[in-house]
């Protein structure tokens, strides 16, 4: 079991471009969570998805950010028209069901230049 | 291969007990070690440790890092039922950017 796979590990985008971050959950896990880590602030919840459904997006910025978890393939966190303040580490975690522990991926470091 | 190992995997104690959680790591280009308390949706940041031998303390929680032996401990004294959670350890490494490696966590249950 390869664990939670995130790619790319590092992503550099110019202001105004789009960033796509991918997360493949562990085998058998149908729940995916996205977090953002800003320097010295710890992990901030963004969105919780199950297959084809967004369950809780209370932590997502209202504009430019979106997430999906299609029936087939990885979960995608999409950031349109990136700005410097989007620079952060983005983590994905998966779990098999509610109430079970999470397994975290190694994160994607987004740098906006 | 970089990795972070936490022990024990789970722990059940009674209120008032003191617990020690362990985190060992094999990570090159180490920058910092972080402890989180994981409840519900979002882990809560507890400590960031960068220097050996300097204890960080917050209420009943304390943590220390040993960069020579490559481990950290998280102590919780006078445990309460509200301490029940999964405690995550993560190590930050510096490569071309910063990478984080998470342990699988220690599940702590505090019984009244």
| pLDDT tens digits, A74-89 | 999 999 999 999 999 8
For residue B92, name the pLDDT band (cuts at 50, 70, 90): confident
Angle at B98 between CA B87 and CA B52, to 5 degrees: 60
pLDDT of residue A1: 53
Calculate the alpha carbon distances from A2 to A106, B4, B24, B49 in Å: 12, 15, 21, 28
Nearest by CB to residue B41, choosing from A41, A45, A101, is: A45
Angle at B52 between CA B22 and CA B70, to 5 degrees: 45
- Smallest CA–CA distance, residue B68 to chain A, in Å, is 24
Of residues B57 and A52, more confidence is placed in: B57
Contact: A109, B48; criterion CB under 8 Å = no
Pairing label, strands B85-94, B106-111: antiparallel
For residue A105, name the pLDDT band (cuts at 50, 70, 90): confident
Please provide the average confidence, as pLDDT, over all residues in chain B: 89
Interchain CB contact of B25 with A (< 8 Å): no
Q: How far is CA B77 from the centre of its chain?
A: 15
Contact: B96, A10; criterion CB under 8 Å = yes
Nearest CA in chain B to A58: B41
State both tokens at B40: 């519900």
d(CA A43, CA A50): 20
Contacts of A22 (CB under 8 A, 6+ apart): A6, A7, A8, A74, A75, A76
Q: Is the pLDDT of residue B109 over 80?
A: yes
Write phi, then psi, for A32 (nearest 5 degrees).
Answer: -130, 140
Average pLDDT over residues B8-23: 96
Give whichever of A31-40, B42-51, B59-68, B94-103 has the largest mean pLDDT: B59-68
d(CA B50, CA B31): 7
Looking at residue A86, what DSSP letter applies?
Answer: G
Looking at residue A101, what DSSP letter applies?
Answer: P
Give the SS3 label for residue B82: helix
Average pLDDT over residues A100-110: 81
């Amino acid at each position: 079991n390869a664990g939670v796979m995130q790619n790319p590990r590092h992503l550099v985008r110019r202001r105004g471009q789009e960033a796509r971050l991918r997360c493949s959950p562990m085998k058998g896990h149908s729940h995916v969570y996205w977090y953002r880590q800003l320097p010295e602030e710890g992990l901030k919840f963004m969105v919780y998805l199950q297959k084809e459904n967004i369950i809780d997006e209370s932590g997502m910025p209202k504009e430019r950010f979106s997430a999906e978890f299609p029936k087939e393939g990885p979960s995608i966190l999409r950031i349109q028209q990136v700005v410097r303040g989007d620079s952060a580490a983005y983590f994905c975690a998966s779990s098999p069901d509610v109430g079970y522990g999470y397994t975290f991926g190694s994160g994607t470091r987004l740098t906006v230049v | 291969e970089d990795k972070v190992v936490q022990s024990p995997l789970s722990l059940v104690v009674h209120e008032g007990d003191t617990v020690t959680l362990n985190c060992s790591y094999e990570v090159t280009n180490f920058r910092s070690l972080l402890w989180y308390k994981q409840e519900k949706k979002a882990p809560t940041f507890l400590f960031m440790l960068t220097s050996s031998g300097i204890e960080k303390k917050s209420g009943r929680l304390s943590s220390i890092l040993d960069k020579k032996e490559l481990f950290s401990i998280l102590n919780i004294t006078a445990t309460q039922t509200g301490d029940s959670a999964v405690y995550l350890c993560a190590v930050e490494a510096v490569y071309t950017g910063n990478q984080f490696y998470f342990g699988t966590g220690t599940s702590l249950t505090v019984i009244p």
